[in-house]
Amino acid sequence: MAINWELLKTHYLQGNRESQLGNLALNLMRLHIFIRQGSNDIVVQHLIRESQFFKE
């Protein structure tokens, strides 16, 4: 299943700054856990891409 990054980005950017920071914090925590467990590269890639929306 293909991911519609533009749709995700639009949804992410519609949130206020507080919710964007909250989402970024959750993504970073999830990345930390997945990387420590050495699990699912696709999920890690998705979380990194989604986290990039914050800086865009």
Q: Does the predicted TM-score (pTM) go above 0.85?
A: no
| Distance between CA atoms of residues 38 and 44, nearest Å | 10
pLDDT (average), residues 26-31: 90
What is the mean predicted confidence (pLDDT) over 8-15? 81
29 pLDDT higher than 90 = yes
In degrees to the nearest 10, what's the CA dihedral of 17, 31, 48, 20?
-10
Nearest residue to 53 (alpha-carbon basis) of 16, 9, 15, 17: 9
